[in-house]
Amino acid sequence: NDLIQGIKKIKDYQISVFPGGFSYGDDLGSGQAYANKVRNHLWEDIENFVSQDKLVIGICNGFQILTNLGLLPGALTFNDGGRYLDRWVDLKIESHSPWLKGLKTISLPIAHGEGKFQADKKIFHDLKISQNIVARYTKGEICTYQDLSANPNGSLDDIAGITAYQGRVLGMMPHPERALLITQLPQFPFLKEKSRRTKKDLPEYGPALQIFKNATNYFKE
């Protein structure tokens, strides 16, 4: 609303975040109403923003908004299980995105009812050829520890995150902002006890902070 009213100008910023959460209660479809508002009031500014050397991330509902706007290909639809999921997943990072620099694997929480990524054959082919599939669900430490399925929602080819605009625009269903602190990790009690027994200091932050550090470092470099 500040951008629409002219209180703030998006051109004054280097990073834009479409956050997770249930915009408009998702009553009109996941991220659709929010995307319509952006398209109707801010589209020219958004187009100018993504055409420049700037960064955009859409997380969960934000990912849905980016696909509805057409800034990312494909679509997010109802989970195969037909219900809302709140759990952790393991990701394999396959990235040329500045957002994910230096990451190979990471575990993050999800919280969505419409997180299944789907795309037609052409879009899927283009995503693979352009190497814009950057995160896939995999059976890692958390899924093994909690005996969970790797792919929580039935996403095509286990896709959890994609990019566009030379990797500068990233959409992902898992929530890195909910896993910034070491105390937020599901295995924190184990890590705390291990730290006590080995007499090694436990870090304050979890690996998800690196995603946001990467974004700020992009403009420092």
Query: Active-site residues: which are they?
Result: 60, 175, 177
Nearest to 51 by CA among 20, 6, 16: 16
Q: Which two structure tokens, joined as six digits, stand for 11?
A: 């051109």
Q: Are 76 and 63 in contact (CB under 8 A)?
A: yes
Helix ranges restricted to H, the chain: 32-51, 61-69, 121-129, 141-146, 188-198, 209-220
Strands 159-164 and 133-138 turn out to be antiparallel
- CA–CA distances in Å: residue 40 to residues 37, 48, 100, 169, 179: 5, 15, 31, 21, 33
Compute the distance between CA of residue 127 and CA of residue 121 in angstroms, rounded to an integer: 10
Q: DSSP for 133-167?
A: EEEEEE--HHHHHHT--S-SS--GGGEEEEEETTT
